[in-house]
Structures are given as structure tokens and as C-alpha cells.
Chains A and B, each alone.
Chain A
């Protein structure tokens, strides 16, 4: 069971970036999938979730700018990030949550997004 993120990098304010999270050993469409971020030297911040049924939720800080989605055929989770701001600079983790119990039990290694001119 593994998650591998990719797609991070340096981007100018106002730009867009798409993060990917490839899953192995389980099916992303059967579980709840989250994005969590951590700004440099700061704590964890929940960003978004996509439920097994396809519904989504977002943190207020990213609502209207970020879009979570998944490709069932590729067993991959995505985070489309638009209108990026300096305060979006962080390590972004994808994490699995079982519908049968709480808590995020599988995490990726993280991908770094830096928003700067």
C-alpha cells in the first residue's frame, strides 16, 4: 500500500499547478482521499477531501481556487491549484482514509510547492 506524489515545483504568484498522487495496493475510488499541506516550519493544514461517492470538500483557505479529482483508470488522485498565492507555499501530502474508520492511515512522501516571483 503506497502513495507517491508528484508535480510540485516553483511557480509564480497567480499561476497554476497540478499535483498528482499515484496509489498502489488499494483503490482510490473505494476510499476517502485527502490533501494535507504543511507550510515551512508550521503545522499540518487539511486542504481537501474526495469521498468514495465523488463528493468533495475544501478548506476555506483554498475554496474556489483548488479542485480535487481522481482518475479511477489510473488509480490516481489530483489537486488542481489555480490563482496560487505565496501563502500556498508548503509540502503537500496526499493521504488515504478508510470509510470504515477515522484517521488517515496511509500518507505519501509529500511534494513541495513554492509560490514566489
Chain B
């Protein structure tokens, strides 16, 4: 079964607008961590934001915030005030318990229009 599901293969957003990228996850472990990465066309994977399952607050990092809904098992990434440089593929990932492995979703391509 898929551990991480990203249902939006591609999205378009107007510059300066906000965009929400969906991510749902599947785990029975009460302890887990959720990560979002950005991959521009150049190929490098850039870590954006982390949310722990026991964190009380939704994570924020600059223009990135995580809408963490534990009961729904969703961890949507919100990018505010989109910039042209935000055009990239975005991956949601999860690590369960004390494990080493990070499981990734299929990714969502975001294209920011001027």
C-alpha cells in the first residue's frame, strides 16, 4: 500500500498567489515525521519543512507552512505569495517511528505564471 499519496500531478498558480499541495499518509505508528522537499529543474532536492506527529503547532518556514490534520492523516504544504522561482516538483515524505527509511510520494509539479 502507498504510504504517501500526492493526488495532484501538476498545478498552475499565478505569481503572488498562495498554493496548497495535498499530501495524505498512511501509518499505524503513533510516532512519525513528515517532510517536504522541492526539486527544481536542475535536479537537486531541497528540504523545505518538517512536521513531527507530536508537534502541537503547525510547522512554518518563511513562505512555507504545513497544514497538519492528524485525524485526517494529511499534511498539506502551503506556499504563500508564489514566486517564479517556486516552479518545481514538490515531494511529500514520511519517516515512521525509529526507522531510517523515508518514503516519498509521487510528487506534484508546480508552475508559477507571471
Asked if A pairs with B, the answer is: no
Which B residues are closer than 8 A to A by beta carbons? none
Which A residues are closer than 8 A to B by beta carbons? none
